[in-house]
Each structure stands twice: as C-alpha cells, then as structure tokens.
Amino acid sequence: TNSKAFTAKTSCVRRRYREFVWLRRQLQRNAGLVPVPELPGKSSLFVGSTDEFIERRRQGLQQFLEKVVQNVVLLSDSRLHLFLQSQLSLPQIESCVQGRGPQSVTEAILHYAMSSWGWVQEEDTRP
C-alpha cells in the first residue's frame, strides 16, 4: 500500500475466514455509526468447484479489505493494522491492543516487517 496509515508498505499474512468475521465484529464495535462493509457469504450451497468457491471468497475478502482501508474511521483501528501487518493470533492482537502484550502495536508490526523482510531475502538467494 502507499497509504501513510500503514507502518509496513507490504505484508503477507495468512488469515482464515473466521478471523475476518472477528475483524469485522471488532470494527463494528469500535466504529460507532460508521457502516462496516459486508463479508462475502459463507454459504456451503455454492454450485461449482471448490477452487471456484475459494477464488470467489478470496475476491470478496479482498473487496472487503479495500473498502475498509478507504474509510478513515475504520483505518484508525489498531486491530486492523495488526490483522494485516503481523502474524499475531487474535488473542495476541487483543493483548497487544490492550497493552498487555510484550510489544506495542507499532513494535509488533515493525518486528514482523523486519522478520518478513529477512525471510524474503533468504528466499530470493536460494538457488
């Protein structure tokens, strides 16, 4: 991203659908009257291949995130930043946001960004 709101300009995290449900719930709780975008459905009644279903859901989650980061109120939520820029579990995100973790929100993101960058460099140098 080129948004100045993000500490890391790039990040790669793996999140499950249920974690997106948690994130949306947290954003709703903290956003007051600001509407939070909908997530793609979780319907198991999808007709087609599993790969098609997964790709449609991935696209829906991508659209959800794109809408979220366009909203200044939602973009100010620390949970969103940790969700997108760290590998912390949901309980670890909560602890960090509440000041009970070993690192601040910024420290957790920078730690991940630096370790992630090191991992990318190692991957690039393999034969």
What is the CATH classification number for the domain harbouring 103?
3.30.1520
CA distances 26 to 22, 74, 86, 93, 125, Å, are 6, 10, 17, 11, 40
Residues of 102-120 as b/e, b for ≥16 C-beta within 10 angstroms?
Answer: ebebeebbbebbeebeeee
> What confidence tens digit (pLDDT) does each residue in 47-102 have?
667 888 889 899 999 999 999 999 989 999 999 999 998 889 999 999 999 999 88
One-letter amino acid of 25: R
C-alpha to C-alpha distance for 62 and 110, rounded to whole angstroms: 23
Which domain covers residue 29, as residue numbers?
Answer: 17-36+49-124
Residue 88 counted as domain residue = yes
Which secondary-structure segment (H or E) carries 4?
none
